[in-house]
Structure 1
Amino acid sequence: MNTGREPMQEAEDAAPVEMLAALFEAHGWPCEFVNDDEICGEIQGSWTTYQLRGIWRREDRVLQLLCLPEVRVPDDKKRAAYELLAMINEQLWLGHFDIWTQGGVLLYRHGLMLGDDGMLGLSVAQLAVESAVAECDRFYPAFQFVLWGDKSARDALDSALVDAAGEA
């Protein structure tokens, strides 16, 4: 257990926000603590830079990861964007995409329920962050097709998945 005095590389588990900070630091990703229970950083994906937020809810022992691709959904595209969200979310095993009602911000959200000790292991932290970025990268083109290419949700998703399957 990390007491705050031992180096992170010697600790197997740590408090969730500290583990995310160590992970970001190890990869050279910029990050900052918003408060004791929240961290915010940036990760370069395949299509854009993503803002990644980790929010620790002590009372529930849940770490919520939010990955934001800096996409805002204008009011005139919300119907198509929500239709696309529904189709995408049907394919996800973990996490989901959503649009915040305040500002129309697109995001990927995943909650990690931690054990009674509320500690997070490095491998779980790494996997959760990589998974969030991978899902955003996987579906980013579909959102672009709907929002700026005027494609239907079905056509956008089909096109995005074909393009992703063709990447090396």
Structure 2
Amino acid sequence: MVEVHSPVGNPIDLVEEIVVSNDWAHDRASEEELVVEISGRWCDYRMYFLWQEELSALHFSCGFDMKVPKRRRGVLYELLALANERLWLGHFDLAAGDASPSFRYAVLLRGIGMASAEQVEDLVDIA
């Protein structure tokens, strides 16, 4: 018999453990949401981890702290489309409001009980 629903533990707790072990600035906005800020070589990164219990999905978004001028957005849309064609997981997009690029990805965890540390680390590495 197929089990219709198996509960999954909140993976945000595991994400927070990894973030703390890396000494990254973060804010646990709620039980289901964690925001992490990291300074990179070219810009700052803001990572959002959001747990959607109803879907057993962990959503990850990594925003790049840069604004794209209007005159360059067309070129960037083309570049992102080319990059997205080659990606197996996730996608890049450009926010309509503030024209900042980001990477998004979601992991479905139904049926596995809990995310592993390796899965969470892979989320960050993919971006």
Instruction: Provide TM-score, normalisation by structure 1.
Output: 0.65
CA distance in 1, matches of 2:33, 2:123: 16
CA distance in 2, matches of 1:32, 1:85: 29
Contact kept in structure 2, 1:15 and 1:118, CA below 8 Å:
no
Contact kept in structure 2, 1:61 and 1:118, CA below 8 Å:
no
CA distance in 2, matches of 1:101, 1:31: 25
Q: Does 1:112 align with 2:107?
A: yes
CA distance in 1, matches of 2:107, 2:89: 10
Partner of 1:30: 25
Partner of 1:40: 35
Partner of 2:3: none
Partner of 2:11: 16
CA distance in 1, matches of 2:38, 2:125: 10
2:85 pairs with 47, 68, 90, which one? 90
Deviation at 1:36, TM superposition (A): 1.6
Aligned length: 120
Larger relative contact order (CA 8 Å, sep ≥ 6) = 2
CA distance in 2, matches of 1:119, 1:102: 35
**Structure with the higher fraction of residues in strand conformation:** 2
Correspondence list, 1:130-149, <5 A: 130-132=125-127
SS of residue matched to 1:98: strand
**Partner amino acid, structure 1, of 2:37:** E
2:61 pairs with 43, 60, 66, which one? 66
CA distance in 2, matches of 1:45, 1:95: 20
Deviation at 1:45, TM superposition (A): 3.3
Q: Which runs of 5+ in 2 are unaligned?
A: 1-7
**Structure with the higher fraction of residues in helix conformation:** 1
Deviation at 1:118, TM superposition (A): 5.6
- Higher mean C-alpha deviation, range 23-32 or range 68-77: 68-77
1:102 pairs with 97, 101, 104, which one? 97
CA distance in 2, matches of 1:21, 1:100: 26
- Higher mean C-alpha deviation, range 78-87 or range 43-52: 43-52
CA distance in 2, matches of 1:14, 1:43: 26
CA distance in 1, matches of 2:74, 2:92: 15
Q: Describe the superposition over 1:120-149 as per-residue Cα deviations: whole angstroms up to 9, x where unpaired.
A: 1111111111221xxxxxxxxxxxxxxxxx
Q: Which runs of 5+ in 1 are unaligned?
A: 1-12, 133-168
